[in-house]
Structure 1
Amino acid sequence: MDMTDPAWETELTTTYGSDQVFYQHNTGEMILKVLIATVVLVGLAGNAVVIWLLGFRMHRNAFSVYILNLAGADFLFLCFHIISFLDSIFNLDFVIGAMSRFLPLVEEFAYISGLSFLSAISMERCMSVLWPIWYRCQRPTHTSALTCALLWALSLLLSLLKGYYCILFWSVQQFWCPVLDFLTVAWLILLFVLLSGSSLALMTRLWCGSQRVPPTRLYMTVVITVLVFLFCGLPFGILWFLISWVLSISSLYLPMTVALLSCINSCANPIIYFFVGSFRQRWRKQRHTLRLVLQRALQDTPEVDEPGESLPGEALEMSGSSLGQ
């Protein structure tokens, strides 16, 4: 073979360039997967702690019920991603098998549930500020628990119907799959509108106007959680809408980047709780446990002005404890 043949040099250059692009592609994909796995592990640990504390170690009331269910949805969302990561690394088709077709439905179910609970938290907090007398005196008992059960059921129903019509019987029921996609996207848009409107009203009442409400830790917890969702969790819903109705995504980096952002959103919620709960608190005393820090993050009473003084443990239970769940 003539090593100086221009055709051979062109073929060699093309092959080398393709291999280099393929290597860079695999490297970038692996970096994103490792980042996702790291965020997922941190998020699983944080949400597990929140579920344990709110489920078994603390008195549950109006807002803690929503936080508990939101942590459950985030935990389920992160479980899907850790299973997907392990499957991509170790090729677990022989373990997962046919279940791999239904695993994305778990992701959708967890995402819809998480957005539903976050919208419910923001709306309930907004009502407690705009109509405080009605909220404290006329609010039905166990509203939070019933609302969470209804949101779980609705999210599960949408996911099961999509699995039934879009996966099991797609060949004979092609009409219903686009209809279910439309209903799902419409529900997500409605939740986003409710979340944005209630959050805007809450922030306006908090910082604007003559009748401003003094900020509490619960205010800051809700506001920061919503802001993190808008930056990190909302792109997942936007990509879902684009894939369902507008275009097909050919690039692998965009879905993985969106998945990383959505995992950061689910991982950030426990960090927000513990950050808000420990802010401006002295840690010299051993009684500052994770339980008390989480209680402070959900505290709906004004801060004590004296330096280093905080409310006693019993007073840290959130407002609404007398309302039931």
Structure 2
Amino acid sequence: MDSNFNIIFDANYDYSYDNSTNTSLTVGEEVFFKVQTTCFTQVICLLVLVVNVIIFLLGIGGNGVVIWIAGFRMKKSVNTTWYLSLAVSDFIFCSCLPFNIAYSVTSDWIFGLFMCKFTSFVMFLNMFSSIFLLVIISVDRCIAVMFPVWAQNHRTVGKAAFIIVLAWFVSAALSIPSIVYRDVQHHLGISHCMNNYTSSQYAHEIIAMSRFVFGFVIPFLLIIVCYTVIILRLKASQMAKSGKPFKIMTALIVTFFLCWAPYHAFVLVELFKSFQSTDIIANGLRIGTTVAAANSFLNPVLYVFMGSDFRKKFKSSILSKIENAIGEEGRTMSRYLSRSSSVDAKASTHI
């Protein structure tokens, strides 16, 4: 039996390999050299495993509650539509975590080729859809501040839903490489879910850079531009002290970039071989991917702890806090649009 690949660990969700080494094993030798490593014998792996279990439990519960509140308990609005889509994206991602948790425990992928491709696809679908939604919300805020009259007349739930569908479609398209290049390989009697880039010479570099550029750099620049415009506009109109209108949105954006920055950093390190030690890259990607996954359960936590008057209403229910936090964004935006519209209307009478 011939097995001609060198495995390089790339977090729970990404394995890659190249066929630069040749190893020939008979069936008997394969059984003899079969390595049954477990996550419980490695400190970092064990810590990552525990964190992933916590992320799964809190992510499913927290995002499930947000979906219930934003989707069924609250009145349909543009703002609830944004946050509902964000919660759905995080919920789907957290739903796939048990497969990767089991993979970490057993070091053996037993779920077949379809789930190997699907779990990786879902991870990047979550990454792209989340950041695209944050960009959309930032642009929405910017337009509302710059053109309040137009925004008040044209911001509708139907248009928001269409934009979200478009964002999900683009996110799915950018996540297709996970389906194309993800593969299950068998080595020393163990199945590995990994990336197989051997069919294309520069596929690894192109895909890694495209994820970094379209899933991190460009969205970051767009959000910075939007927030710069918003801040300047609010200061110019002397409305900067209007009750911290964008605090939840700001927290969501900062949290996303802090969670995903380590992952992208170690992907680039692995890509350009900045470290010769594969252990550093392996552990870095393992930790970076786990920190990125944490973003999926932190959003509901932010809704709770950044709702209005959290300390004063500490004894009230968690559901009320989440509903308050999501609704606060809409109420603040409505007040701002109303005030700005009346100011613009008065200004127009002098022309």
What's the TM-score once normalised by structure 1's chain length?
0.73
Q: 2:300 aligns with which of 270, 292, 301?
A: 270
1:144/1:99 Cα in 2 relative to 1: closer, same or farther (>3 Å)? same
**2:216 is aligned with 1:201:** no
In 2: Cα distance, 1:98 partner to 1:277 partner: 43
Partner of 1:31: 47
Quote the offset at 1:179 in angstroms.
4.7
Partner of 1:99: 114
Partner of 2:326: 298
What's the TM-score once normalised by structure 2's chain length?
0.68
Partner of 2:273: 247
Tell me if the contact between 2:78 and 2:156 (Cα under 8 Å) persists in the aligned partners: no
In 1: Cα distance, 2:176 partner to 2:200 partner: 14
In 1: Cα distance, 2:123 partner to 2:39 partner: 29
Tell me if the contact between 1:276 and 1:296 (Cα under 8 Å) persists in the aligned partners: no
Quote the offset at 1:136 in angstroms.
0.7
Partner of 2:63: 47
In 2: Cα distance, 1:124 partner to 1:271 partner: 23
Gaps of 5+ in 2: 1-37, 184-194, 338-351
Partner of 1:160: 176
SS of 1:142 mapped into structure 2: helix
1:233/1:23 Cα in 2 relative to 1: closer, same or farther (>3 Å)? closer
Partner of 1:71: 87
Quote the offset at 1:132 in angstroms.
1.2
Tell me if the contact between 2:245 and 2:332 (Cα under 8 Å) persists in the aligned partners: no
Tell me if the contact between 1:122 and 1:195 (Cα under 8 Å) persists in the aligned partners: yes
Tell me if the contact between 2:70 and 2:323 (Cα under 8 Å) persists in the aligned partners: no
**2:252 is aligned with 1:225:** yes
1:200/1:318 Cα in 2 relative to 1: closer, same or farther (>3 Å)? closer
1:104/1:161 Cα in 2 relative to 1: closer, same or farther (>3 Å)? closer
Partner of 1:18: none
Alignment of 1:76-87 (within 5 A): 76-87=92-103
SS of 2:334 mapped into structure 1: coil
Tell me if the contact between 1:295 and 1:318 (Cα under 8 Å) persists in the aligned partners: no
Tell me if the contact between 1:277 and 1:297 (Cα under 8 Å) persists in the aligned partners: yes
Tell me if the contact between 2:307 and 2:321 (Cα under 8 Å) persists in the aligned partners: yes
Quote the offset at 1:229 in angstroms.
1.8
Gaps of 5+ in 1: 1-21, 302-314
Alignment of 1:127-138 (within 5 A): 127-138=143-154
Partner of 2:218: 190
Q: Deviations over 1:83-114 (max 9, x none)?
A: 201222246633x1223531222211111111
Alignment of 1:281-292 (within 5 A): 282-283=312-313, 288-292=316-320
Partner of 2:349: none
Alignment of 1:115-130 (within 5 A): 115-130=131-146
In 2: Cα distance, 1:169 partner to 1:26 partner: 26
In 1: Cα distance, 2:141 partner to 2:167 partner: 17
State, as a whole percentage, how many aligned pairs show the same letter. 22
Q: How many residue pairs get matched?
A: 282
In 2: Cα distance, 1:166 partner to 1:256 partner: 18
Q: Deviations over 1:289-318 (max 9, x none)?
A: 4444233213457xxxxxxxxxxxxx9697
1:120/1:238 Cα in 2 relative to 1: closer, same or farther (>3 Å)? farther
In 1: Cα distance, 2:47 partner to 2:222 partner: 36
Quote the offset at 1:191 in angstroms.
1.8
1:163/1:46 Cα in 2 relative to 1: closer, same or farther (>3 Å)? same
Tell me if the contact between 1:225 and 1:272 (Cα under 8 Å) persists in the aligned partners: yes
Quote the offset at 1:55 in angstroms.
1.5
1:34/1:165 Cα in 2 relative to 1: closer, same or farther (>3 Å)? closer
1:237/1:181 Cα in 2 relative to 1: closer, same or farther (>3 Å)? closer
Q: Deviations over 1:113-157 (max 9, x none)?
A: 111111111221122122211211244662210111001111112
Structure with more of its chain in helix, by fraction: 1
1:41/1:136 Cα in 2 relative to 1: closer, same or farther (>3 Å)? same
In 1: Cα distance, 2:331 partner to 2:220 partner: 31
Q: 1:59 aligns with which of 70, 75, 79?
A: 75
